[in-house]
Structure 1
Amino acid sequence: MAVRKVYTAATFVVLISLGCIHTGLVHSKPSVRATIGSPVVLIPGDGGSHMLGKLNRTEVIHYFCRAHTDDFFNIWLNLEELIPYIIDCWADNIKLIYDNVTRTTADMPGVSVAIPDWGNTSSVEWLDPSKVSYGSYFAPLVDKMVALGYERGVSVRGAPYDFRKAPNEGQVLLKNLTKLIEDTYAQNGHRRVVLITHSMGGPYALYLLNHKSQAWKDKYIKALASVGGPWVGAAKVLRLYASGDDLGAFVVNPLAVRPAQRTFPSSAWLFPNDDFWDPNEVLVSTPQKNYTMKDKKEYFDDLGIPFAYQMWLDTKDLIHNVTAPGVPVFCLHGSGLDTPERFIYDEKHKFPDTQPITISGPGDGTVNMKSLKACLMWRKQQKHPVIEKDFPGNEHVAILGNATLHQYIIDNILTPNNKL
C-alpha cells in the first residue's frame, strides 16, 4: 500500500509540472452541425503522441526491468514508468540505435514501438490515455470544437507519429499524412483543411508543405495554424544533450532520461539553426572551454556522442532555409517567460553530469522568441497572409489549455466566413 501511495503522488506531481492538469472542459453534445467551420488535422509536437511498446528482450539494464510483455503496453505517456529507478528501464526501452551507413535509427533489440489510432484524435488529446490523471494535450481544444458540432475522426482528426524521429526517416508518415488531408477534405464537403500544429508539429508540417506543389496546397489547405513552433530550433537542446531534460517534471532525474534523449534524431533536428544564432555566441561555458555554434562537432565529441553530430548532419537541411509554406499562416505563441538561452558549468555545476546555471532570455519557457517569430519572414516570401498572435504569459505546453487561444482559432481560422 505504501508503494501505491508513492506512485500516486509522483503521478500527480508529474502532471502538475507538465502543466497538463485538465479542468473546466465543455462536454456538452453538439447541437447545431452547421456551426462548424473548416475541417482540422492536428499535428502534435515532441512527446505529443501516444506510443505503445512490446518487449521481448534478452538483456535488460536492471534486474527489476521487464524483459517480456505478452502484448503492447502504453510506453508514452506512462507516468509510472517515470518514477525513480523504473525510469532507467523506460529510457533503455525508448532509446534508438543509429546506423551511420544507412543514416537511420532503429528500436532497441527486442523492443517494438507502435503509434496507435492514426486519423483519430485519441492519440493526441491525452498524454495519459487512461484519462484518470486528467493529463490533457489537445483535449481542451477538441472538446471545444466538438461542442460546436465537430466530430472526432471525421471533421477533426489526429496525425500522431514517432516523435523521436525527424522527417528524413518519416516518408511513410508524410505519405499517410498527405492521404489523411485529402480524405479529410473529401469527407467534409470538399472543404479545405486547417492544419493545427503544436511545437515540433509546425516544422513537420512545414517540411510537408515545402514538398507539395502549389496546386495541391491551393486545393487542400486552408491555413497552417502553428502553436509554439520552434522554426529555427531551441537553445535548450544543448542542455538536453549535456545533462538531459527533466520533461518539465521536477520528480524526473534528467540524467536518467539523457541516454534516450541523446539518441533521438528529433533532438538533433531542433538544434539551433546556424543562420539565426550568432556563430560566435557562447551557448555553453565550462572551465575548460566555451562552445559556440561553430563548435558543434567538438561539443558532441566532448560529450562522447559523436553519432549525435551525424544525426545533426542528417537533419540540419530539412527546413534549414525555413522556406515559406505557400499557405496562409497563423503563428500563435506564448511570451513573457524566462527561456533558456545559455548554460554555464563551473566547479560546483560540473560538466556535463550536473544541471548548469541557466541564463534565460525571452520566449515561452521552452522556445526562444527568435525561433517563435522566425515565421514572420514569410511575409516577404509569399502572397498568403502571415499573422502573428501573442498570448502573453502562456507557457509552451500549457497554452494548449488556454480558452482564449481556442476562441481565437475558432473565430479567426476555422470560421467559414473568413476569406483565407
Structure 2
Amino acid sequence: MRSVYDPAADDYSNVAGVETRVPFFGSTQAFRYPDPDRKNFSYMSTFIERLEKMGYRDGETMFGAPYDFRYAAAPVGRPSRVGDAFFWALKSLVERASGLNGGRPVVIVTHSFGGLLAHQFLVRQPLAWRRRFVGRFVPIAAPWGGLVRGMQTLVSGNNLGLPFIDPRALLRQGRSQQSSLWRLPSPAAFGAATPLVTTKSRNYSAGDMADYLVAIGFGEAVGPYESRVLPLFGRELPHPGVPVTSVVGVGVGTPERIVFPGDDFDVTPFVVAGDGDGVVNLVSAVAVETSWSHGGEDFRMVKVSNMSHNALLVDDRALEIIIREIQRAD
C-alpha cells in the first residue's frame, strides 16, 4: 500500500508492479462501509440513510466521489497524475448530476481531508462554472490548517483505526503517502513560532517543519513539502467562490502539543490536549472563518459542541445541522 515519490518526475505513484483502483465512483456505496464484506464499522452509512429517508436516491439525486486517500493534489503547474484525474472525474460527475436534475446546481458535502481536496478542486475551476454548477459547499470537520496529530503520526505511525495493529507497523506506509504532508500544521493557521513538538533541546513549530522532518529521519520529504504543500497551505486559503457552510466539532480534547522527554523520537511522548474535535485542532477548523466571512461572501461557520471528528456523521444534532444546510441550497 505504499506510494512512491519520484523526484525526477516530481510525482507520486504506486510501487512498481502494483495496480490499484477506486471502486464505485459516482455512487455513495463506497462511503457506507470501509469493508463491504464486514459491516462492523460504518463510516457514512447513517448520514446516507438519513438522506435516503428524505427522498435522495443513489445515482439519481445523490452521488459519491471516492478517492485514493494516499494521494492529494499538487500546486498548479506541478505534475499530479492521480490528483488531476480525480479532479477531471469530479468535474464530470458534478456536471452529470446537475444534468440529471434539470440543470440545478449541486451541493458538495465532504468530510475531513475531503474538504481540502474539494476546496482545491473548486478554486481551480472558472468562476462562471462554479456559480453555474455548485449551489453550496458543506465541508464537515475540514482541517484547513493541518493537524498537530499529523506531526505525531510521522513519528508514531497510524493504524487507521484497525484493531490489533501496532501503529508503528504502518509508519513506513504512512510516511510514503502524499496526503501525510497535507496533514502537517500550516504556519498560516498555527503561526510560525508556536511550539507544537518539544524535545529536550528543541521546540518545533509550524514554521520549523523542514527541520522537524530532518530530525525525525524523514529528510526526503522536505523537497515535496516545500514545493507541493507550502504553496497551497502556507498562506490564507482563498474563498471557493460558492456559498459555504463549514460544520466543525468543538469541546473534545485534541493533541495540541507533543512533548518528548529527551531528544529520542522513538519513545512514547506526552500529549498536551487542547480544543477541537479529537483530531482537528480548533485553530485549524476555524482558520478560514475570518477571511471567508468578509467581502460579502456567503459563508457560515457552525460549531457543534462536544462533538468528535467522526461523530459529526452519526450524531443526530450534527446531522440535523448538515441536512438543514443541504436543504438550504436545495
One fold, TM greater than 0.5?
A: yes
The CA deviation string for residues 342-389 of structure 1, in whole angstroms up to 9 with x for no partner, is: 111115xx7322331101111000001011112212444443321111
The CA deviation string for residues 313-367 of structure 1, in whole angstroms up to 9 with x for no partner, is: 21222244300011111110111111111111115xx732233110111100000
3-state SS of 2:304 partner: strand
| Structure 1 residue ranges, 4+ long, deviating more than 4 angstroms after superposition | none
3-state SS of 1:359 partner: strand
Within 5 Å, give how 1:331-410 maps onto structure 2. Answer: 331-347=246-262, 351-410=264-323
Q: Does 1:108 align with 2:15?
A: yes
Q: Does 1:317 align with 2:240?
A: no
After TM superposition, the score normalised by the length of structure 2 is 0.92
CA contact 1:194–1:222 (8 Å) conserved in 2: yes
Distance 2:165 2:13 in 1: 25
Aligned position for 1:234: 147
- 1:151 aligned residue (43, 57, 79): 57
Query: By how many angstroms is 1:405 displaced?
Result: 2.3
Q: Does 1:327 align with 2:242?
A: yes
Aligned position for 1:38: none
Within 5 Å, give how 1:213-252 maps onto structure 2. Answer: 213-248=126-161, 251-252=164-165
Aligned position for 1:118: 25
Within 5 Å, give how 1:153-192 maps onto structure 2. Answer: 153-168=59-74, 169=80, 170-192=83-105
CA contact 1:238–1:271 (8 Å) conserved in 2: yes
Distance 1:293 1:376 in 2: 20
Give the stretch that moved more between structures: 153-162 or 369-378: 369-378
- 1:207 aligned residue (117, 120, 127): 120
* Runs of 5+ consecutive residues of structure 1 not aligned to the other structure: 1-93
Aligned position for 1:281: 194
3-state SS of 1:262 partner: helix
Query: By how many angstroms is 1:131 displaced?
Result: 4.5
Q: Does 1:268 align with 2:174?
A: no
Percent identity of the aligned residues?
A: 28
* Runs of 5+ consecutive residues of structure 2 not aligned to the other structure: 75-79
Within 5 Å, give how 1:47-66 maps onto structure 2. Answer: none
Distance 2:207 2:320 in 1: 43
Aligned position for 1:258: 171
3-state SS of 1:113 partner: coil
Distance 2:295 2:45 in 1: 33
CA contact 2:113–2:143 (8 Å) conserved in 1: yes
3-state SS of 1:237 partner: helix
Aligned position for 2:35: 128
CA contact 1:203–1:319 (8 Å) conserved in 2: no
Letter of the 2:278 partner, please give it: G
Aligned position for 1:69: none
Letter of the 1:153 partner, please give it: G
Change (3 A) 1:382 1:101: farther
The CA deviation string for residues 88-118 of structure 1, in whole angstroms up to 9 with x for no partner, is: xxxxxx1111111211112123322111111
The CA deviation string for residues 122-159 of structure 1, in whole angstroms up to 9 with x for no partner, is: 112212212432x1111111111111211112211000
Query: By how many angstroms is 1:415 displaced?
Result: 4.5
CA contact 1:100–1:307 (8 Å) conserved in 2: no
The CA deviation string for residues 45-80 of structure 1, in whole angstroms up to 9 with x for no partner, is: xxxxxxxxxxxxxxxxxxxxxxxxxxxxxxxxxxxx
Letter of the 2:275 partner, please give it: P
Distance 2:7 2:133 in 1: 37
Letter of the 1:175 partner, please give it: W
Query: By how many angstroms is 1:250 displaced?
Result: 6.4
Change (3 A) 1:220 1:255: same
Supply the RMSD in Å over aligned alpha carbons.
1.8
Aligned position for 1:95: 2
The CA deviation string for residues 382-401 of structure 1, in whole angstroms up to 9 with x for no partner, is: 43321111221111112211
The CA deviation string for residues 153-206 of structure 1, in whole angstroms up to 9 with x for no partner, is: 221100011111111220111011011001000001111100000001111111
Give the stretch that moved more between structures: 205-214 or 292-301: 292-301
CA contact 1:340–1:368 (8 Å) conserved in 2: yes
Aligned position for 1:72: none
CA contact 2:312–2:319 (8 Å) conserved in 1: no
Distance 1:96 1:258 in 2: 13
Change (3 A) 1:323 1:381: farther
Change (3 A) 1:179 1:352: same
Aligned position for 1:140: 46
Letter of the 1:177 partner, please give it: L
CA contact 2:250–2:282 (8 Å) conserved in 1: yes
Distance 2:293 2:252 in 1: 29
Within 5 Å, give how 1:285-296 maps onto structure 2. Answer: 285-296=198-209
After TM superposition, the score normalised by the length of structure 1 is 0.73
CA contact 2:186–2:233 (8 Å) conserved in 1: no
Distance 1:378 1:183 in 2: 32
